[in-house]
Amino acid sequence: MCDFIITPLVTALGAGGAATAAGSTAAAATSFASTMQTIGSVLAIAGPVVQGMQVASAAKANVKLVENQKRHQAALDATKADRERRRFQSQLAQQRAELASRGVQLDSATAVLLGQSAAAEMSFNDQAIRSGAQATQAELSAEQVNYRAKASQALLRGGLSAAGAWLDRPADEWAELMS
């Protein structure tokens, strides 16, 4: 990309030295102006493309960060669910021990009913944790889709802006292109 800028500049600055003193000044000024105009056009075209590429790169980096966050959150949610299950199992064991210490048979209707209600509560709690984890994963996936769309949009915007800058070039540059 630097060749587009440096080569015309060096050519413009060096082209005036070979002509006569009077003609060289006019030729150098014309050549320099033409070169500066070309450099301006190149920068006007390249700028939006580079900016679009930078925004797209940042959006892609955010997609990777969100992917890492999803993995981390899934591990945290699994750990939370496991801890809750262990807590409920500990409470069930404690409840069974208390019932046995009171002389209640563990296969009696009361003990079975208490065990079933505790198991239902444990199942409900586990389902609530899993539902929350799924909602978080869906939210993070939507965030990734949003970042991917931003990346595509930035590249498209940069390309269209560059095309607009190309088409907005001065008429004398178009004449050079036609010849």
pLDDT in tens, 56-87: 999 999 999 999 999 999 999 999 999 998 99
Domain that holds residue 97: 2-178
- The confidence score (pLDDT) of residue 16 equals 44
- The confidence score (pLDDT) of residue 143 equals 95
Q: How many domains does the chain have?
A: 1
13-62 pLDDT, tens digit per residue, is 554 444 455 556 666 667 777 777 777 777 778 888 888 899 999 999 99
**Helix/strand/coil percentages in the chain, nearest 5:** 90, 0, 10
Q: What is the pTM of this model?
A: 0.61
Q: Which residues contact 155 (CB under 8 A, 6 or more apart)?
A: 52, 53, 56
For residues 165 and 43, is the Cβ–Cβ distance under 8 A? no
106-142 pLDDT, tens digit per residue, is 888 888 888 888 888 888 988 999 999 999 999 999 9
- The confidence score (pLDDT) of residue 61 equals 93
Closest residue by Cα to residue 133 from 69, 77, 52: 77
For residues 155 and 56, is the Cβ–Cβ distance under 8 A? yes
For residues 60 and 147, is the Cβ–Cβ distance under 8 A? yes
- The confidence score (pLDDT) of residue 96 equals 85
